[in-house]
Amino acid sequence: MENNVLNGMDRVDPNLRDKMLAELFLNQVMNDFKRNKILEKVDHSLKNKDKEAFLSLTEELKSVS
């Protein structure tokens, strides 16, 4: 699918294309950051045997992934 998106972007104004790619990149970086922070908290909840926090964080992780 990404190939189709990139192929279609050849026909888009270069400035708009650059803006769209920058937004996609930024969104991916932000999602990766959020995911990593949640995973750190999951590890912490496991270490502390906090089942409630673990269950809550795994649900939150599903929405970010």
Residue 6 lies in domain: 2-64
- Cβ neighbors of 1 (< 8 A, separation 6 or more) are none
User: How does pLDDT run across 1-59, given as a tens digit for each residue?
Assistant: 556 656 666 677 888 999 999 999 999 999 999 999 999 999 999 999 999 999 999 99
- Cα 56–chain centre separation: 18
pLDDT value of residue 64: 86
Q: Which helix (H) or strand (E) holds 17?
A: helix 14-47
The angle at the Cα of 63, spanning 59 to 65, to the nearest 5 degrees, equals 110
Residue 5 in contact with residue 17, Cβ under 8 Å? no
Position 13 scores a pLDDT of 86
State how far Cα 37 lies from the chain centre: 11
Please give the tally of structural domains in the chain: 1
